[in-house]
Structure 1
Amino acid sequence: METIKIGILVSSDRASQGVYEDISGKAIREILSDFIANPCDFHYILTEDNQRAIETHLINLCDEMGCDLVVTTGGTGPAKRDVTPEATQNVCEKMLPGFGELMRSVSLQYVPTAILSRQSAGIRGKSLIINLPGKPKSIKECLEAVFPAVPYCIDLIEGNYIYANEDSIKVFRPKTS
């Protein structure tokens, strides 16, 4: 079973300045460790809300570190400093709008302000990048919604084969004929 390389990029001015501890990145790691049966090699980066810095980190995680999956949190709202979706779009060859549509749909079941969220996803080389919201509860809800499609997406872009922990999450791969 291949090791899956996972990048976690947290964009937060205050957490990167030490004003508070990042709990979102830890939540992502815990959830993905539960969902993925393969051994995982996590690469964690905490950065300020700065588009150029986010783009540089995304490129490094995809191109240099060879991450199969890169998950971001933070910077998806409408505020001036929220630039993670723009950074993601700038570094990706293809965008996958269905991820953001599903995440917003799920989040709208809990909070009406989910319509303000701008989560997205895209492909850079053999890496899938997913932008998540910033709260651990929302991260879990969104990952539960989109993760069933993640392993097959990574298959299609020729990334490493992800085995799901079937006790925690069911994934979908079309049956081959």
Structure 2
Amino acid sequence: MSDSPLRIGIVTVSDRASRGEYDDRGGPAVHDWLQRALITPWEADAQVVPDEPERLKAVLESLCDDLGCALVITTGGTGPAPRDVTVDVTLAVGEKELPGFGERMRAVSVKKVATAILSRQTAVIRGRSLILNLPGSVKGVAECLEAVFAAVPDCIDLIGGPRIETNPAVVQAYRPHS
């Protein structure tokens, strides 16, 4: 696997974007942020899916189990609305929840947007994959990645995934277990 680039799944969860009613901006925001932050060669498997639990479940399972993505980042569907199912599906496919990711993202976001307390984003481990839920807004994507990504490389190390090196000008990976 060392000769293969790091695989990262980027999943935008949005009924309207999946129907083409507006352009997906969340997924490209994740991609752009990772492009600046990662030194390790990587490739993205980007998808836009509707807020449908079975479809999202199949996509997350495939990205982790079939495609071997070490990291899967979702954007959208983290709120309290009836069709916001991303977190519920993520928890269902995960083997271990890592609630500290969501706690940290909300702590940072609530300083800028009072309604950030309504966000339910979290992170889980599935096999050797980390699945991380982000809010759907472009601004929220950047704020949340900046808040938590320093811990992502160590987490992936601990679950047996590939080593991820970051650009210290964007984010300094913290590896207390190395």
TM-score above 0.5: yes
The 3-state SS of whatever aligns with 1:21 is coil
* Secondary structure of 2:47's aligned partner: strand
Shift in CA distance, 56/175, structure 1 to aligned 2, threshold 3 Å: closer
The reply on whether 1:157 has 2:164 as its aligned counterpart is no
Give the equivalent residue in structure 1 for 2:46.
44
Runs of 4+ in 1 over 3 A off after TM superposition: none
Identity, in percent, stands at 51
CA, structure 1 residues 129+175, in 2 after alignment: closer, same or farther (shift >3 Å)?
closer
Q: Which runs of 5+ in 2 are unaligned?
A: none
Contact residue 154 and residue 177 of structure 2 kept, 8 A: no
C-alpha root-mean-square deviation of aligned residues, in Å?
Answer: 1.0
Matching of residues 122-133 of structure 1 within 5 Å: 122-133=124-135
Counterpart of 2:166, as a letter, is A
Displacement, 1:33? 1.2
Give me the TM-score of the superposition, normalised by structure 2: 0.96
Q: Does 1:97 align with 2:99?
A: yes
Change (3 A) 1:40 1:92: same
1:138: which partner in 2?
Answer: 140
Aligned to 1:113: 115
Find the residue that maps to 1:128 and give its secondary structure: strand
In structure 1, the partner of 2:67 is: 65
Q: What's the secondary structure of 2:90's corresponding residue?
A: helix
Q: 2: CA distance between counterparts of 1:56 and 1:155?
A: 25
Query: Aligned pairs, how many?
Result: 176
Displacement of 1:169 in angstroms is: 1.1
Superimposed CA distance per residue, residues 15-42 of structure 1 (whole angstroms, 9 cap, x where no aligned partner) = 0001000011000000011111011110
Deviation at 1:166, TM superposition (A): 1.3
* CA 20–102 in structure 1, closer or farther in 2 if over 3 Å, else same: same
Structure 1, unaligned stretches of length 5 or more? none
Q: Which one-letter code corresponds to 1:99 in the other structure?
A: F
What per-residue deviation string (whole Å, max 9, x for no partner) do you get for residues 75-103 of structure 1? Answer: 10000000000100110100000000000
Q: Distance in 1 between matches of 2:137 and 2:156?
A: 25
C-alpha deviation, 1:125, in angstroms: 0.3
Q: Distance in 1 between matches of 2:7 and 2:129?
A: 10
Q: In structure 2, what is the Cα distance between the partners aligned to 1:148 and 1:160? A: 15
Taking the aligned partners of 1:106 and 1:4, their CA distance within structure 2 comes to 28
TM-score using structure 1 length: 0.97
> Aligned match of 2:150 in 148, 151, 159?
148
Which letter does structure 1 place at the counterpart of 2:51? D
Structure 1 equivalent of residue 11 of structure 2: 9
